[in-house]
Structure 1
Amino acid sequence: MTNSAMHPTSSSVPDFDGLPQAPHPSASCIIKRTIDIVGSIVGLLILGVIFIPLAVLIKLDSPGPIFFRQERFGLHGKPFTLLKFRSMVANADQLKAMVPNEAKGLIFKNEQDPRITRIGQFLRKTSLDEFPQFWNVLMGDMSLVGTRPPTRDEVSRYNDRHWQRLNVKPGLTGEWQVNGRSAIKDFEQIVDLDLRYQQRWHPLYDLRLIAQTVAVIVNRSGAY
């Protein structure tokens, strides 16, 4: 029997049978949640310092909102609104069909995407565009470490294997981010990394991935 609560509620997103009923242990781990709360508060304090200069640069670079808001899907397909600093032109969604997809599978990727603004290039290389997501972490929709939060277009085409990615909360970082990020263009490889994370998960492993993420950002490796 299909458990519709495990998937996005919209009728445009299909359900799949045979998925695990229980979430991954990390989803209810008090230690992981504590790390998320502490880390998100620190991240939001940093965001408070950098917000005004980044907001000014974003507005001067191209017309449009400061923040990018998009529906994403989290633990067992629960929808939430993802927050990021806007790194593309305001009508990026309308222009997407004109940009070739260099990735394989259910993700979209183009390293020379012309929709990315000048300040957007900087924000992405430094991962500063991700800082508003600390609010998503504090609210419990995301974790500091997990899987990349998928879009509606992605989950509408998921099979049972793909749905297993969402047995954990989506994260600001994870296996994909520290093991190639923009270099990985095959969605099935990303799924492999997500499932490997679930097998290896431990609070200390989260801390290890967070440390590796900081090293990646400092070295600016794998950014896009």
Structure 2
Amino acid sequence: MYQIQFLKIFQGANTKAWEFEIPPHPSVNSLFKRILDIMGGIIGLLILAVVFIPIAIMVKLDSPGPIFFTQERYGLYGKTFIICKFRSMVTDAEKLKNLVKNESEGLIFKNKDDFRVTKIGRFLRSSSLDELPQFWNVLVGQMSLVGTRPPTADEVIQYNQRHWQRLNVKPGLTGEWQINGRSHIKDFEDVVDLDLQYQSKWHPMYDVFVIFKTIYVIVARIGAF
């Protein structure tokens, strides 16, 4: 059976739509993967409960504004959901984005010395602690422990059909991009290559491998800024 994908994205005056059929990726209906996600989601939320108060205090003392940053993202087959992270930038970061040079190519935005990132934010990002609230998205099934980076509307509206294939699996807290360079990957086409590589290599135990390698990458602080 094929999954019919249909998506309309409204971005200002622009509208873009796709409709095509693809075979469902085996990870989507994997019971093992879902059980792994539930277990990981519970463990992640327990860790969040332990570190929440000290992180919240640090975020508030470092920069005025909310503790969390929320944003609409696109997940499996283009279904939208809201992610939540610990805030790592100043509150008016989006308004200041045009003052920051994009050091990446394509549909991603990166700058190693982005002045909008707070002092505590740099620590949270390099340690991936800012991602902890997303374990809720994993637990409820909007995300997976392992998958692709969930894009924003301003990215997806510029996708071609090859890019769209990234969303044939659930978005993940980690993935090939996380264990193969993280912030040092500066070309969006390389990100797409890694995401499609994950889809071709996937089997249930491969997720376990990616999770353990992610832990190593985070502890060793490889490739993040």
Q: Distance in 2 between matches of 1:20 and 1:99?
A: 39
* Identity of matched residues, %: 62
Cα deviation, 1:132-158, whole Å, max 9, x if unaligned, reads: 000010111100000000011100100
Alignment check: 8 A CA contact 1:23 1:76 kept? no
Q: Which residue of 2 aligns with 1:7?
A: 7
Q: Distance in 2 between matches of 1:13 and 1:198?
A: 28
Q: Distance in 2 between matches of 1:39 and 1:215?
A: 16
Q: Which residue of 2 aligns with 1:122?
A: 123
Q: Which residue of 2 aligns with 1:68?
A: 69
Give the ranges of 4+ consecutive aligned residues of structure 1 lying more than 2 Å apart after TM superposition.
Answer: 3-13, 19-23
Q: Distance in 2 between matches of 1:216 and 1:20?
A: 36
Q: How does 1:1-224 map to 2 (within 5 A)?
A: 6-8=6-8, 10=10, 12-17=14-19, 19-224=20-225
Return the letter of the residue paired with 2:165: Q
Return the letter of the residue paired with 1:30: L
Q: Distance in 2 between matches of 1:131 and 1:61?
A: 19
Unaligned runs of 5+ in 2: none
Distance change in 2, residues 1:5/1:15 (3 Å): same
Return the letter of the residue paired with 2:178: Q
| TM-score normalized with structure 1 length | 0.95
Q: Distance in 1 between matches of 2:132 and 2:100?
A: 26
Which SS does the other structure have where 2:113 is aligned? coil
Alignment check: 8 A CA contact 1:6 1:78 kept? no
Q: Distance in 1 between matches of 2:73 and 2:213?
A: 25
The Cα shift of 1:57 comes to: 0.5
The Cα shift of 1:9 comes to: 5.4
RMSD: 1.5
Distance change in 2, residues 1:8/1:171 (3 Å): farther
Unaligned runs of 5+ in 1: none
Cα deviation, 1:55-81, whole Å, max 9, x if unaligned, reads: 001001001110110010000110100
| TM-score normalized with structure 2 length | 0.94
Cα deviation, 1:10-48, whole Å, max 9, x if unaligned, reads: 47451234x433431111111100000000100000000
Distance change in 2, residues 1:29/1:4 (3 Å): closer
Alignment check: 8 A CA contact 2:4 2:21 kept? no
Which SS does the other structure have where 1:163 is aligned? helix
Alignment check: 8 A CA contact 2:148 2:172 kept? yes
Aligned residues: 221
Alignment check: 8 A CA contact 2:5 2:21 kept? no
Distance change in 2, residues 1:13/1:217 (3 Å): farther
Alignment check: 8 A CA contact 1:71 1:79 kept? yes
Cα deviation, 1:106-150, whole Å, max 9, x if unaligned, reads: 110101100000000110111100100000101111000000000
